[in-house]
């Protein structure tokens, strides 16, 4: 039994034994996660801890996320990537057992404080999930759903009731968003068709277009291509790189090559909910400081 404890990477003892230079990861991590970049951070996270009941899922996470770039979050299953992502627009609030402690500043504004307008926050910090989840409505109505809900666009019954018909603006919005998501050419002649009839890859681009339609500044993506074939995946990857010209993208992926291809910086989380290293993507993949990170990205564990 004691042997098993020593080789089980999930134990604290094993974590300490697996470091490069004999010091514990705990001491070195401070330096490895200090990522310096030009410009203001879009997000500044400090001492973030998350629990689900008694389960401590994220430990003292501190990191700054630069704007208009792609930040990849990688690490083995259960290390807290989705949990971290959800903290950036307070989606964890929806999970009853979740408790969050620490600070997340979005453009220098603390989001974990009373009075934060969550609707506004989630409008500015949009998200796309692992499995595409189009609404069972037309392609057009999927795209305009958010702006209609927020009262920015009135069509149909609402237009008749309010005397304001925004059908032209809806058309413009639908076209712009679908073009941004590189889907327009494939669907422009069938905007009235039900979105559930699209292929998986098209549905995922539709969900990205829907997220873009509310005019966000940040797009959070949790394994957006994991359910897609290689061709659809490559379209999503190209799209993410293009989006980073105008948006801040934070993307969780299990696919190392994908992280290496599309991201500017990479944060590596490891078992137990620790951020172990955060740096330029090239540095992480070519010359990481942490032996555990090197082992993880070369496939030795995780």
Ligand X SMILES: Nc1ncnc2c1ncn2[C@@H]1O[C@H](COP(=O)(O)OP(=O)(O)OP(=O)(O)O)[C@@H](O)[C@H]1O
Q: Which residue, 134 or 273, is less far from ligand X as judged by CB?
A: 273
| Residue number with CB closer to ligand X (75 or 132) | 75
Q: Which of 19, 44, 82, 127 binds Mg ion (CB under 5 A)?
A: 82
State the minimum distance, in angstroms, from the CB of residue 113 to ligand X. Answer: 23
- The least CB distance from residue 281 to Mg ion, in Å, is 20
Contact 35, 27 (CB under 8 A): no
Closest to 75 in 3D by CA, of 254, 224, 301, 291? 254
Residue closer to Mg ion (CB basis): 78 or 102: 78
Whole-angstrom distance, CA of residue 47 vs CA of residue 76: 21
Kindly determine how many residues on this chain lie close enough to bind Mg ion according to the rule CB under 5 A.
Answer: 1
Question: Which residues have a Cβ under 8 Å from the Cβ of 271 and sit 6 or more positions away?
Answer: 9, 10, 15, 75, 76, 78, 79, 302
Residue 82 or 214 having the CB closest to Mg ion: 82
Yes or no: say if 153 and 169 are a contact pair by the CB < 8 Å rule.
yes
Task: Determine phi and psi for 260, rounding to 5 degrees.
Answer: -65, -40
**83 binds Mg ion, rule: CB under 5 A:** no
- Collapsed DSSP state (helix, strand, coil) of residue 175: helix
Smallest distance from ligand X to CB 226, Å: 9
**Would you tell me which residues interact with ligand X (CB under 6 A)?**
52, 55, 57, 75, 77-83, 95, 97
Which of ligand X, Mg ion, none interacts with 95 (beta carbon under 5 to 8 A by kind)?
ligand X
**Candidate ranges 79-87, 94-102, 114-122, 285-293; the one touching Mg ion (CB under 5 A):** 79-87
Q: Which is nearer to ligand X, 92 or 180 (CB)?
A: 92
| Of 135, 128, 133, 74, the residue nearest 240 (C-alpha) | 128
Distance separating alpha carbons of residues 270 and 15, to the nearest angstrom:
10
Q: Would you say 140 or 292 has its CB closer to ligand X?
A: 292
Could you identify the residue written with the tokens 């299953």?
A: 77
Nearest approach, Cβ of residue 108 and ligand X (Å):
26
The span of 25-33, 47-55, 74-82, 110-118 binding Mg ion (CB under 5 A) equals: 74-82
CB of 84 to ligand X, least distance (A): 7
Which residues have C-beta within 8 Å of that of residue 98, sequence separation ≥ 6? 50, 51, 52, 83, 92
Binding site for Mg ion (CB under 5 A): 82
């Amino acid at each position: 039994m004691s042997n098993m404890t020593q080789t089980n990477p999930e134990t604290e003892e094993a974590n300490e034994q697996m470091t490069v230079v004999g010091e514990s990861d705990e001491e070195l991590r401070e330096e490895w996660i200090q990522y310096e970049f030009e410009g203001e951070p879009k997000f500044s996270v400090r001492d973030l801890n998350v629990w689900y009941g008694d389960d401590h899922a994220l430990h003292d996470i501190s990191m700054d996320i630069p704007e208009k770039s792609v930040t990849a979050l990688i690490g083995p299953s259960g290390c807290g990537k989705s949990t971290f992502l959800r903290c950036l627009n307070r989606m964890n609030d929806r999970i009853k057992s979740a408790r969050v402690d620490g600070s997340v500043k979005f453009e220098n504004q603390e989001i974990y404080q009373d009075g934060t307008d969550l609707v506004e926050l989630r409008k500015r910090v949009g998200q796309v999930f692992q499995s595409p989840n189009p609404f069972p409505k037309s392609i057009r109505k999927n795209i305009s759903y958010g702006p209609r809900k927020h009262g920015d666009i009135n069509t149909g019954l609402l237009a008749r009731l309010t005397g304001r018909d925004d059908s032209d603006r809806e058309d413009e919005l639908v076209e712009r968003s679908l073009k941004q998501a590189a889907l327009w050419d494939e669907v422009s002649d069938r905007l009235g068709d039900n979105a559930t009839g699209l292929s998986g890859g098209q549905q995922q681009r539709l969900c990205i277009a829907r997220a873009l339609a509310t005019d966000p500044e940040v797009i959070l993506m949790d394994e957006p291509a994991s359910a897609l074939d290689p061709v659809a995946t490559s379209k999503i990857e190209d799209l993410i790189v293009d989006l980073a010209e105008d948006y801040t993208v934070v993307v969780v992926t299990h696919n190392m090559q994908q992280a290496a291809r599309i991201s500017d910086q990479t944060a590596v989380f490891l078992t137990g909910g620790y951020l172990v290293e955060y740096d330029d993507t090239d540095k992480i993949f070519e010359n990481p400081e942490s032996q555990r990170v090197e082992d993880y990205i070369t496939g030795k564990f995780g």
